Structure 1
Amino acid sequence: MKIHREGSATILLTLLALAVINGFVYYFTKDYPVVTWGLLIVSIVFWLFIISFFRVPSRVFKADENLIIAPADGKVVVIEETYEAEYFKDKRLQVSIFMSPANVHVNRNPISGEIKLSQYHAGKYLVAWHPKSSTENERHTVVINNGKTEILVRQIAGALARRIVNYMKAGMKVQQNSEMGFIKFGSRVDLYLPIGTKVNVALNETVRNGQTVIATLA
């Protein structure tokens, strides 16, 4: 396991802030070791929790041009046909993955192909499971064309996730399971697939990026 580069500044700043707080509290409560030791233990646990947000576990990825691989860790919260208004402007099969603060937060490309669209949208910070979060929250949309079909992947910020990182640019050629981006502190990733695509997961199923097969392309 390694720590993602997006976490370097956050981890360091958190450590410095905790050091200052502990030093300040120790100065005024050094005659009360229960207080100082208690705060130190809580601080260490909190710092380790922050580090866990940015972990990148070692995994053996599943690669197959006929499969759509999970772009994120989390739980499947939506499987339904819906109208996609930004790019396709027609009905698509939506599969949404909710990422909790405890999940791995790296997002990966679910298929190989060419990036046709990479577009950031500012927006609100509704809770990620809110029905309108897909269209009203801060989000980043990526469309990948593999020569046979196109799928849309949308990173969505939530109430806690206030920063979406996306590395994709229009015209780029990407490989399945390569890094698409990172959402700090969890949130949600939506997939929009062609109608009729065979979905291989069920509602409330836990999935892992780079490993779980979300769907099979026709």
Structure 2
Amino acid sequence: MPGYLIAGTVLAVITTLALAWKWQLGVLRAGVFILALSMVTALVLSAADQLAHFTFVTGTLAMWGITVLAAVACLLAMFYRDPERAAPDRDDVIVSPADGRVIYVRPVPPGEVPVASKRGRAASLRELRGTSLCDTGATAIGISMNLLDVHVNRAPVAGRVQLSERMHGTFGSLRNPEMVGSNERVTTVIEAGDLQVAIVQIASRLVRRIVSFVSEGDELRLGQRIGAIRFGSQVDLLVPAGTRITLAVQTGDRLVAGRTIVGVVAGEPAATGAFPRADGAAVASAARRDG
């Protein structure tokens, strides 16, 4: 094997592993992927060498550049994907608004303004003042997204958009907990009968655009696309507190937007028998399988 193939592979691995660590993509997963990709690149360059006659320098640069560009192209293809998803065929559930991992599940006491948190730092969601989530208490579920997650967000319940508000701010890295409070965010409140559910999309350093597909007064279906948040970031879901809702997720769970059941609402009959009513443990097990 020509020396430039080895040198280019080493440079590509170093480059991509540094980016994988920085963007929280999983170093081991990224390492296996880039090694497999570099093997394909090596075959292409070996065939092209008969015409290009690479030197050590040009071959190394070609091996490194093509491998890294191919990896970035694969990453962008995964990032911009928007698969069709069927929501659960029932009307007594709350589904996840985002792909990602649950980083906290915590109560919001009645009368307090809900907050979004990152590594112990809290940011007041003042736009939720006057909602039932602020008046009677809520449960906040933080969902951390990375670059490999689908970034289209979906309606956690069927209902009417009561509030859609953009809070302008900065675009700092969410690795810095202080950025939770100063970064741009979009908050959407959906009324489902006598329940209110809020989705908070929070920007990060790589996020330069939070897109909202809905406006106040819109009627939404369960699992309908409501917006997109570019590159890795955080989405918070706030649901009413109380015994009426049985939560089905816990910290560390992987969620799938529009599919994973986050909670079951008591007193609302299921639309069909396809998803039989279950206790909290059973629903949690099903949610983890979906995620």
Q: State the alpha-carbon separation in 2 of the partners of residues 136 and 49 from structure 1.
A: 28
In the alignment, does 2:167 pair up with 1:121?
A: yes
In the alignment, does 2:198 pair up with 1:152?
A: yes
Count of aligned positions: 190
Alpha carbons of structure 1 residues 134 and 147: separation in structure 2 relative to 1, 3 Å = farther
Q: State the alpha-carbon separation in 1 of the partners of residues 67 and 142 from structure 2.
A: 37
Q: Secondary structure at the match of 1:165?
A: strand
What are the residue-to-residue correspondences of 1:80-91 with 2, within 5 Å?
Answer: 80-82=106-108, 83-84=113-114, 85-87=126-128, 88=131, 89-90=134-135, 91=137
Match of residue 7 from structure 1 = none
Match of residue 217 from structure 1 = 265
Alpha carbons of structure 1 residues 76 and 129: separation in structure 2 relative to 1, 3 Å = farther
Q: State the alpha-carbon separation in 1 of the partners of residues 93 and 177 from structure 2.
A: 27
Q: State the alpha-carbon separation in 1 of the partners of residues 176 and 78 from structure 2.
A: 26
Q: State the alpha-carbon separation in 1 of the partners of residues 65 and 229 from structure 2.
A: 29
Match of residue 228 from structure 2 = 182
Q: Secondary structure at the match of 2:86?
A: coil
TM-score (norm 2): 0.60
Alpha carbons of structure 1 residues 118 and 48: separation in structure 2 relative to 1, 3 Å = same
Match of residue 202 from structure 1 = 250
Alpha carbons of structure 1 residues 135 and 67: separation in structure 2 relative to 1, 3 Å = farther
Gap runs ≥5 in structure 2 = 1-52, 115-125, 267-291
Larger CA deviation: 124-133 vs 134-143: 124-133
Equivalent AA in structure 1 for residue 61 of structure 2: V
Q: State the alpha-carbon separation in 1 of the partners of residues 179 and 139 from structure 2.
A: 17
Match of residue 101 from structure 1 = 147
Tell me if the contact between 2:87 and 2:222 (Cα under 8 Å) persists in the aligned partners: no
Deviation of 1:55 after TM superposition, in Å, equals 1.0
Q: State the alpha-carbon separation in 2 of the partners of residues 136 and 125 from structure 1.
A: 8
Tell me if the contact between 1:139 and 1:154 (Cα under 8 Å) persists in the aligned partners: yes
Tell me if the contact between 2:144 and 2:235 (Cα under 8 Å) persists in the aligned partners: yes
Match of 1:163 among 187, 191, 209: 209
Alpha carbons of structure 1 residues 92 and 131: separation in structure 2 relative to 1, 3 Å = farther
Q: State the alpha-carbon separation in 2 of the partners of residues 118 and 124 from structure 1.
A: 19
Deviations 1:28-48 (A, max 9, x none): x97523322431222122112
Q: State the alpha-carbon separation in 1 of the partners of residues 239 and 173 from structure 2.
A: 24
Q: State the alpha-carbon separation in 1 of the partners of residues 176 and 96 from structure 2.
A: 21
Q: State the alpha-carbon separation in 2 of the partners of residues 150 and 35 from structure 1.
A: 55
Tell me if the contact between 2:95 and 2:156 (Cα under 8 Å) persists in the aligned partners: yes
Equivalent AA in structure 2 for residue 178 of structure 1: Q
Max Rg structure: 2
Q: Secondary structure at the match of 2:226?
A: strand
Alpha carbons of structure 1 residues 63 and 137: separation in structure 2 relative to 1, 3 Å = farther
Match of residue 64 from structure 1 = 90
Deviations 1:46-82 (A, max 9, x none): 1121121111234333242211101100000111112
Equivalent AA in structure 2 for residue 86 of structure 1: E
Match of 1:52 among 59, 62, 78: 78
Q: Secondary structure at the match of 2:73?
A: helix
Tell me if the contact between 2:207 and 2:232 (Cα under 8 Å) persists in the aligned partners: yes
Match of 1:173 among 219, 229, 240: 219
Alpha carbons of structure 1 residues 62 and 133: separation in structure 2 relative to 1, 3 Å = farther
Bigger proportion of residues as strand: 1
Aligned CA-pair RMSD: 2.1
TM-score (norm 1): 0.79
Q: State the alpha-carbon separation in 2 of the partners of residues 127 and 78 from structure 1.
A: 19
